[in-house]
Amino acid sequence: MESIASFIHTLSYMLVPLVAAVVLHEYAHGWVAHFFGDQTAKSQGRLTINPLPHIDVWGSILVPLMLSLIPGGVIFGWAKPVPINPSQLHNPRRDMALVAIAGPLMNLCLAIVSGLFLMLFVYLDPTIQANWPPQPGAEPREDLLGMLLVPLTAMALSSIIINIVLLSFNLLPFPPLDGSRVLRSLLPTKPAMALNRLEPYGMLIIFGLLMLDSRIPIISSFIFFMFRLIGQPFLPA
């Protein structure tokens, strides 16, 4: 019973930041594509911040739920990719790079905004940082400010973590991630075509890198660096 309560508690403050991160990531792709002439996302009802058209059963529901059951794990997920038609873009090669980078930049902006909110919450009540994380069985705050700031602080921290993880992974230069689309737009034709041929094996490469990262922590070091930069108030020295 206690584990179920803990699961619901974790989900309560990570669900909103996760949905916001993946939906706004895809919205940014669609908005930039629309700005440069591609009407595909708008015509299919995907140029919206309404979460429902973007929800992916596996990436938005099942995978985050399974990850939330892992003690100390970070909830991660994704939404349905926004449809993009490069032939409708004004300058397909240049504009596809801008469309691709828009998603990770949105996650960076969300992480920074969450970090600013985190600093605001600490400023409003410095005791939050001193007593974080709240200990099981601790007396609940009775003042209105504390009752509001504790869950908001948890959501801000979750938002920083989720958005930095999404930013970091999507910058990897392997298809189908956004980093590969940016790289493909910058490379000459032949290397770009070679990178395209990696698409069927992209997820295998990514999983391989994640396994390697446990021994050579490149990705996790970048994630930690970004979190230290943005979420500094809640990291130990």
Q: Which residues are catalytic?
A: 26
Give the number of other CB atoms < 10 A from CB of residue 4.
Answer: 8
Tell me the torsion sign for CA atoms 221, 161, 163, 225. negative
Q: What is the DSSP string of 140-153?
A: PP-SHHHHHHHHHH
Residues 74/165, Cβ–Cβ less than 8 Å? yes
Residues 174/162, Cβ–Cβ less than 8 Å? no
Q: What is the CA radius of gyration of the chain?
A: 19
Cα–Cα distance between 221 and 219 in angstroms, integer?
5
Single out the residue of 40, 84, 83, 81 nearest to residue 59, CA to CA. 81
Cα–Cα distance between 65 and 70 in angstroms, integer?
9
Cα–Cα distance between 107 and 20 in angstroms, integer?
10
CB burial class (10 A; 0-12, 13-18, 19+) of residue 58? exposed
